Amino acid sequence: MKKILFALCGSLSLMAMNCVSESDTRHTNIVFHNAADYDIYVDRSFYYPDTSLLHQQNVTTPGWNYKVESNTTNDAAFWSRTSYESLFHSMEVLIVFVYNADSLAAYGWDYVKNNYMVSQRYDLTLNDLYRLDWQLAFPPTPEMRDIKMWPPYGTYDSLGRRVER
């Protein structure tokens, strides 16, 4: 009996070592870094190619984790109950919007939404997220230069200020 139990435990240990960690194949969070010298709000949309803000809710609503303060990281900005891998089975692109918190405070959500006052928009594929190790930033980092975004990479300096062209 001891030999059978020992063999069973050994087999289970070997099987466990060959298993891929759930965290390698099931991502439920996207980390967002804000290197700008002002606060931002971030939001996501699953309605690509519709990049309008028709489906977006007021990101300043208390209780949402969409705010990323200046020079900080929000680990819960894009938490999801469902893995992003499974969400990508029904979509090809995840849209991420970045809004200036000062603009939202000055003009209000309806004005910002109606006038498409988006500071940055990222159109991300699942491969983009894997390549970026599930971390996004504003302003876009050099590692993000090849993802589809509007306005284009290089529009902002390292503090999130628009660069004159």
pLDDT digit string, tens, across residues 26-64: 777 789 999 999 999 999 888 999 999 988 888 887 666
Is residue 4 situated within a structural domain?
no
Question: To which residue do tokens 């070997």 refer?
Answer: 14
In a domain, 130, yes or no: yes
84 within some domain = yes
Domain-embedded: residue 13: no
Range of the domain at 69: 27-150
pLDDT at 16: 41
Q: Single out the residue of 150, 160, 154 nearest to residue 48, CA to CA.
A: 150
pLDDT in the model for residue 48:
92
Q: Which residue has the tokens 């000062």?
A: 102
- Provide the pLDDT for residue 56: 87
User: In the prediction, which pLDDT does 12 show?
Assistant: 42
16 burial (CB, 10 Å; 0-12 / 13-18 / 19+) is: exposed
Alpha-carbon span 156 to 111, nearest angstrom: 23
Domain count of the chain?
Answer: 1
Distances, alpha carbon 126 to alpha carbons 2, 23, 74, 95, 100, in Å? 48, 15, 20, 11, 26
Question: Which parts of the chain register pLDDT below 50?
Answer: 5-22
Q: Classify residue 15: in a domain, yes or no.
A: no
Q: What is the pLDDT of residue 3?
A: 53
Helices (H), the chain: 2-18, 22-25, 84-87, 101-107, 109-114, 126-131
Per the domain annotation, does 80 fall within a domain? yes
In a domain, 39, yes or no: yes
Q: Which sign does the torsion angle of CA 75, 80, 84, 88 carry? A: negative
> Considering the domain boundaries, does residue 101 fall inside one?
yes
Q: What is the pLDDT of residue 59?
A: 84
